[in-house]
Structure 1
Amino acid sequence: MNFVSNMPEQAEQLQCAKHGTYETRYTQMMGRYLMNDQCPKCVADANAAARLQEQAEQKRQSAELLRRQRLDAGVSLRNCAVKFEDYFPADKDQAANLKVVQDFTANIAEGGRGNIVMCGGVGTGKTMLACAAVNALLSKGKRCRIIKLIDLIRELKDTWRRGAETNEIKLIKHYSNIDLLVLDEVGLQFDSDTEKLFIFDVIDGRYQNMLPTILISNLDITGVKQAIGERVVDRLREDGGKVLAFRGDSQRKPFDGVSSGVVVS
């Protein structure tokens, strides 16, 4: 591009190796003329390519941000991208469980209430479905956390340490106020009275705030009551809380060097 004092009566004809003949264009600026001798179709192609590249980069950044949010929310790397569509029910009972969790998630996304207790053997998809719910809700801007109950207890005990960054009251308040809390591996904690009281305080806080909770355990519902207390389960069952039984054999596949589908947990 160059400035010229006068615009010619007839635009100069130029040749583009890709698009053929085109005319030089002139734009008046402060008494002079800016001569544009670039091929307009080449310019349009370059702008379109730049827009596509920018959109791709924005999409990549959004995906990375969502991935980081999921990891920060406690979703494992294995389940970081899992969706409900990745869960393949082995029978009609598992299909019914899938529908319940999907409906639960859609309801929570709209500000609804409810709780779920998932009981059943290892490898039947309980954690996978819970992670799919967390992933979906994080995409909707909800604050979620999935954590093993033993790790939650460890966080509690860390507040007792001299110089701890937080205290027990603040920890309970935090977990009582997030949009969805998922407590995994219920029944594997140390089972002390102090732990049961702490668990009750968290669940009761969420109960008072009318916020949804998911509990996951390899125990049956009787075992869950024994592990965390009947008062906790009673609060989870109120307001239409559901207990889902996951039966059947583990669907985890032994590693043989070949990918054989989604691994459930």
Structure 2
Amino acid sequence: MEDRLNRAGIPKRFRARSFENYLADSDAKRHALVTARGFAEDFSAHARRGTTLVLAGNVGTGKGHLALSVAQHVMSLGHSVFFATAREIVLMLRGRWDDRSAPGEMEVLRMLTAVSLLVVDEVGVQFHTDAERDQLFGVLDGRYRDLMPTLLTTNLSRRLLQQAIGERSYSRLREQGIWVPFDWEDFRARKVGAGAAAAAAAAAASAGSAA
């Protein structure tokens, strides 16, 4: 399993992510959990339809947690998975430019379009050129034409995502797509705030005791 996780690109820091330890303490979060879990557990049906699942919203809201939970569950069912950021995918496709021993663009494209589930993280962060948009389009279009499911995470709204990846790519994911909004506060910021409050309370208590 460790070897499979390495080949799937699952970062070591996040391999403990699961549906069971996702904090769903609001109706919106429970909706996100149920949708992501349903996609994973009914993956065979989504594979027949070529569904695209888009987890979209603020930084630190758990999009990556659920994306990795989906990826690892789908792997446990015996399907192939590949996880990468959108920027990493662009760099993979350009690998031969700087290293003649690296896989060629067509070889990388075939792998990305053939894997059972492709998880593309942080879509829209790096798209500043038409060349990058065209490269992502090649991946999404190849999967679209072959009815291959794709999972995307993004911090962008629908309008900004459309601008970032281009109309052609957006049209592909919209046709057979499920959009899940993550519009609550940053988990990490909340933890930092709670930690600071606890530290302040402890300091105040210590000062009171000293007095």
The two structures share one fold, judged by TM-score above 0.5: yes
Query: Aligned with 1:103: secondary structure?
Result: helix
One-letter amino acid of the structure 2 residue matched with residue 242 of structure 1: I
How many angstroms does 1:143 deviate by? 0.7
One-letter amino acid of the structure 2 residue matched with residue 245 of structure 1: P
How many angstroms does 1:78 deviate by? 2.2
Residue equivalent to 1:229: 166
**Is 1:70–2:5 an aligned residue pair?**
yes
**Is 1:81–2:16 an aligned residue pair?**
yes
**Is 1:251–2:187 an aligned residue pair?**
yes
How many angstroms does 1:199 deviate by? 0.5
How many angstroms does 1:162 deviate by? 5.0
One-letter amino acid of the structure 2 residue matched with residue 82 of structure 1: R
With normalisation by structure 2, the TM-score equals 0.84
Cα distance in structure 2, aligned partners of 1:67 and 1:81: 12
Identity %: 32
Cα distance in structure 1, aligned partners of 2:186 and 2:7: 28
Residues 45-79 of structure 1, C-alpha deviations (whole Å, 9 max, x = no match):
xxxxxxxxxxxxxxxxxxxxx13322331222222
One-letter amino acid of the structure 2 residue matched with residue 163 of structure 1: R
**Is 1:185–2:122 an aligned residue pair?**
yes
Query: Aligned with 1:84: secondary structure?
Result: coil
**Is 1:99–2:49 an aligned residue pair?**
no
Give 1 or 2: higher strand fraction.
Answer: 1
The residue correspondences of 1:148-167 to structure 2 (distance < 5 A) are 148-167=85-104
The residue correspondences of 1:19-98 to structure 2 (distance < 5 A) are 66-98=1-33
Greater Cα radius of gyration, structure 1 or 2: 1
With normalisation by structure 1, the TM-score equals 0.68
Work out the number of aligned pairs and report it.
190
How many angstroms does 1:159 deviate by? 2.1
Residues 63-119 of structure 1, C-alpha deviations (whole Å, 9 max, x = no match):
xxx133223312222221221111111311111111111111122145443111111
How many angstroms does 1:161 deviate by? 2.9
Q: Are the counterparts in 1 of residues 55 and 63 from structure 2 also a CA contact under 8 Å? A: yes
Q: Are the counterparts in 1 of residues 117 and 149 from structure 2 also a CA contact under 8 Å? A: yes
Query: Aligned with 2:75: secondary structure?
Result: helix
**Which structure 1 residue ranges, 4+ long, deviate > 4 Å from structure 2?**
none
Cα distance in structure 2, aligned partners of 1:236 and 1:188: 17
Question: Which of 229, 235, 242 is the matching residue for 2:178?
Answer: 242
One-letter amino acid of the structure 1 residue matched with residue 149 of structure 2: P
Query: Aligned with 2:36: secondary structure?
Result: helix
Cα distance in structure 1, aligned partners of 2:88 and 2:123: 11
How many angstroms does 1:164 deviate by? 3.0
The residue correspondences of 1:88-237 to structure 2 (distance < 5 A) are 88-109=23-44, 111-113=47-49, 114-237=51-174
Query: Aligned with 2:79: secondary structure?
Result: coil
One-letter amino acid of the structure 2 residue matched with residue 88 of structure 1: L
Q: Are the counterparts in 2 of residues 200 and 232 from structure 1 also a CA contact under 8 Å? A: yes
Residues 163-182 of structure 1, C-alpha deviations (whole Å, 9 max, x = no match):
23321111111101100011
CA RMSD of aligned residues (A): 1.7
One-letter amino acid of the structure 2 residue matched with residue 123 of structure 1: G
Give 1 or 2: higher helix fraction.
Answer: 2
Residue equivalent to 1:52: none
Residue equivalent to 1:40: none
How many angstroms does 1:190 deviate by? 4.3
